[in-house]
Amino acid sequence: MGAPGWTERNPIMSRFHSRGVFLTLCLAPAVLSSLHPECEYIFQLERDELRCLQYIAEQANASQTGCQPFWDAVVCWPRAGVGETVHRRCPAVFSLFRNNTGSVSRNCTSDGWSRLLPPYHVACSVDDDVPQTEQRYFTTVKLIYTVGYSVSLVVLALAVCVLLLFRRLRCARNFIHIQLFITFMLKAAAVFVRDAALFSGDDTDHCSLSTLACKASVVFCHYCVMANFFWLLVEALYLNSLLLSSFYRRRRCLWGFSLLGWGVPVFFIILWIGSRVYFEDSECWDIIEDSPYWWIIKGPIVVSIAVNFMLFVNIVRILIQKLNPRLIQFNNSCQYRRLTKSTLLLIPLFGTHYMFFSFLPDYFGVSLRFCLELCVGSFQGLLVAVLYCFLNQEVQNEVHMSWLRWQERNYGVVSPAAKGSQMDTPL
């Protein structure tokens, strides 16, 4: 009598795949295990299957009476006589989802093995509805951040073109803006590359996926994210320098800013690659949970966020002092008020919301972290481009003047505004 057809859904694999995005995006002197705990459970399940198949092969020449041994994708059922009830405890893999595990049983009847009693999701405390809910949640999150990064990528590219096209807009301040825009564009592109490498199909095995392309996509993604945080720090440093009137108009400082924004992340990324190659060269380097080497990347980012936050507090303090009606001069009052408005608008975009999560464990507030870092964060580049470029009065004036000059060349129409602004100079 043969084994029944496998009609019960395997709750382990479906639950594992529904949690795949958790494993990829989660932000000990002894060397930890080279495998993620959930991957160890999956590999243990595969080892159990292999042992079961070997047992079945050994029993092939035994008596054909009763119920034959078989593997039901979770538990190995031994040979049994008609009328015998076989009990099996839930495998250890289910403790990943619940601490309490029970047992399941099958009856050997004259028609073969009976159906599982009770089902795995009941006996082993695995809720079948949770994976579907999680899958819908992850699908929605992925849709939102895909739209956000796509729109941001287009708007940022347009903003970079605008700042590069007009010669009068080429200054140190806009040079830093352009670098920041580029990091947001690279960050968006890196997310798409990573998704293509890691989530190309629903059947992708994240525990065994370990290709050079997949590792390169993860490294590229980490570098782009790190460079983005450091150029946000550069923006804060430059804004402080303007308010303090220190190294203003000194172009040599741009080399230092460029080294900080692009070079420092390269240094830490190389250190992290070396640590992964020699100590944790497992999977696709996308699983960073409980890894001490992850702090090679996370540590500098946390420091940059903290320094950025302190710089913005200092900016607000300086602006409050400079906007004191008794100390301010009429000539620069408009400039300071405009700078204050821009600064206050940009504070939420410069990582202040990261301050809360940066000093908490990676597993804390995962759902809220996903919404902020993926959904809201995907539109961050769009907001920065709008505030830094398209709502900038200087950019608007230059675009307007170019439009008037184009009308003059093609139709011979000279606007009084164009004549009156011939002597205007950018800030």
The reply to whether 90 and 183 lie within a common domain is no
* 95 and 135 co-located in one domain: no
**Distance from C-alpha of 272 to C-alpha of 264, rounded to nearest angstrom:** 13
Instruction: Determine, yes or no, domain membership for 28.
Output: no
Q: Are residues 90 and 136 in the same domain?
A: no
Q: Are residues 134 and 120 in the same domain?
A: no
Task: Kindly tell me the burial class for residue 398, based on how many C-beta atoms sit within 10 Å of its own C-beta (0-12, 13-18, 19 or more).
Answer: buried
Domain co-membership, 327 together with 256? yes
- Shared domain check, 291 and 341: yes
- CATH number of residue 391's parent domain: 1.20.1070.10
Instruction: State which residues form the domain around 162.
Output: 130-406
Q: Please check whether residue 83 is in contact with residue 75, taking contact to mean a CB–CB distance below 8 angstroms.
A: no
Find tokens 């299957």 and name the residue.
Answer: 49
Domain membership of residue 319 (yes or no) is yes
Q: Has residue 150 been placed in a domain?
A: yes
Compute the distance between CA of residue 160 and CA of residue 151 in angstroms, rounded to an integer.
14
Residues 50 and 113 in one domain: yes
User: Residue 299: CB partners within 8 Å, gap ≥ 6?
Assistant: none
Shared domain for 107 and 213, answered yes or no, is no
Number of domains in the chain: 2
* Integer Cα distance of 197 and 96 in angstroms: 27
> CB within 8 A of 324, min separation 6: which ones?
none
Within-domain flag for 423: no
The first and second tokens of residue 423, run together, are 């002597």
Query: Do both 172 and 237 map to the same domain?
Result: yes
Q: Print pLDDT tens along the chain (427 aa).
A: 555 543 344 544 444 444 444 334 433 222 223 345 556 667 777 888 888 888 888 887 777 778 888 888 888 888 888 889 998 888 766 665 555 567 889 999 888 889 888 887 777 766 545 456 767 777 888 889 999 999 999 999 999 999 998 888 888 888 999 999 999 999 999 989 888 877 766 555 666 666 788 888 889 999 999 999 999 999 888 888 877 765 555 667 888 899 999 999 999 999 999 998 888 877 778 766 667 888 899 889 989 988 988 888 887 777 777 666 555 554 555 656 666 666 666 665 666 666 666 666 655 666 677 777 778 888 888 988 988 888 888 888 888 888 877 777 777 655 554 444 443 433 3
- Asked if residue 116 lies in contact with residue 106, where contact means CB atoms within 8 angstroms, the answer is yes
Same domain for 113 and 155, yes or no, is no
Note whether 311 and 376 are same-domain residues. yes
From the list 367, 209, 360, the residue with the least C-alpha distance to 298 is: 360
CATH code: domain of residue 77 = 4.10.1240.10
Q: What is the pLDDT of residue 358?
A: 64
Please give the Cα distance from 278 to 286 (Å, whole number): 16
pLDDT for residue 93: 67
| Residues 117, 147 within the same domain | no
Q: Can you give the pLDDT at residue 421?
A: 43
What is the torsional sign of CA 274, 280, 283, 288?
negative
